[in-house]
Amino acid sequence: TPLDARMARSFGAEGIGLCRTEHMFFDGDRIVAMREMILADTEKDRRAALAKLLPMQRSDFLELFEIMAGLPVTIRLLDP
């Protein structure tokens, strides 16, 4: 998460070896949207949940890259 990246940088991290994106969705409204996506009965419902998740993930990725300021970041994406 961006919070973890910020903490890692404060300890002198020189990059992120593996960013496990599923950890970005454990908090609050995020876990609810993730559950909606996983448990969706229809493609329409799944797409609606994904539409909630995508802006969160994009924002987190941008923040990670800003925090790491050009240092290497390896991201593992969620499987569909």
pLDDT at residue 79, rounded to an integer: 62
Long-range contacts of 55-58 (CB under 8 A, 24+ apart): 56/24, 56/25, 56/30, 57/21, 57/24
Q: Are 78 and 20 in contact (CB under 8 A)?
A: no
Provide the pLDDT for residue 80: 57
Q: So what's the pLDDT on residue 24? A: 84
Question: What pLDDT is attached to residue 29?
Answer: 83
Average pLDDT, consecutive stretches of 10 residues, N- to C-terminus, the chain (80 residues): 93 92 84 93 95 93 95 80
pLDDT score, position 19: 86
